[in-house]
Amino acid sequence: MKNCHKNIIILASGNGTNAVNIINHFSNKNTLSDSNLSNISIKALVCNNRDAPVLNKVKNINKDIKLYCIPFSKTAERASFEEELAGIVDEYKIDYIILAGFMKILSDDFVLKNLNKIINIHPSLLPAFKGKNAIKDAFDYGVKITGVTIHFVIPAIDSGPIILQEPVIIEENDTVELLEEKIHKLEHKMYIKVIELVSCEKIKIVDNKVKIFK
């Protein structure tokens, strides 16, 4: 029988709604099927911002998750941040690094050393509307459909093999705020699904594309 157990860490920078949703799900036995009951061990949450609300939120959800706050607000701090992060990855034998509202760019060197183990979520149907203002950019452009993309991270920003994409229709009466709500609600469902997929190695990268196996 295939060993489906995976150790993950989560990187976040602010409110951490996706991080909190992931931790709530995988900390609550009532939300998990028997097959996923112990597949995922969330070993740590790493935050680059000491004032981020996500730190206290996670502390109140699951005290077994180690919290790390490593300064990284400017490019000059990236090398020391990544050095400490690499130590955490090694210490906990991490299989996947989950970016959940992590607002800094990791170096090409770090990404290449951890290729196919860093996963990111982006609020658009990539490659459309890259960047930090993707929801507003899509809304202002006037597209009728946007969505959510979860992908493996490569050195190019908001790029890499796509694991999962799902659309969100922009209704005539939507505001930016309503669109954000719809996208965040979808993000929460999708990230759980993707983490469950990787936990049992149901995805593989073939010719730079992700294939999902049943």
Is 200 among the domain residues? yes
Q: Look up the domain containing 29 and give its range.
A: 6-212
* Structure-block tokens of residue 122: 């982006």
CB 161 within 8 A of CB 169: no
Which residues on neighbouring strands pair with residue 99, listed in sequence order? 11, 120
Is 98 among the domain residues? yes
Q: Count up the domains in the chain and report the number.
A: 1
**SS3 state at 186:** helix
pLDDT of residue 1: 38
Statement: residue 61 has pLDDT above 60: yes
Q: What is the dihedral of CA 98, 99, 105, 107, to 10 degrees?
A: 0
Determine the average pLDDT of the residues in 199-213: 88
Is 1 among the domain residues? no
Is 76 among the domain residues? yes
List of residues 6+ apart from 52 with CB closer than 8 A: 12, 13, 14, 15, 16
Which one, of 53, 174, 164, 149, lies nearest residue 69 by Cα? Answer: 53
pLDDT digits (tens, 9 = 90+) for 128-144: 999 999 999 999 999 99
d(CA 27, CA 38) in angstroms, rounded, equals 10
Is 14 among the domain residues? yes
| pLDDT-above-90 percentage for the chain | 81
Query: b/e map of 133-152 (b: 16 or more CB within 10 Å)?
Result: ebbebbbeeeeeebbbbbbb
The residues assigned a catalytic role are 122
**What does R_g of the chain's alpha carbons equal in angstroms?**
17
Statement: residue 84 has pLDDT above 90: yes
Is 178 among the domain residues? yes
pLDDT of residue 94: 97
Query: Tell me, what DSSP letter sits at residue 32?
Result: S
pLDDT top residue among 213 and 119: 119
* Structure-block tokens of residue 69: 């706050």
pLDDT digits (tens, 9 = 90+) for 186-203: 999 999 999 999 988 888
Which one, of 139, 92, 137, lies nearest residue 117 by Cα? Answer: 92
Is 88 among the domain residues? yes
pLDDT digits (tens, 9 = 90+) for 146-185: 999 999 999 999 999 999 999 999 999 999 999 999 999 9
Lowest model confidence (mean pLDDT) among 26-40, 66-80, 102-116: 26-40
Statement: residue 75 has pLDDT above 80: yes
pLDDT of residue 141: 97
CATH number at residue 110: 3.40.50.170
pLDDT of residue 38: 58
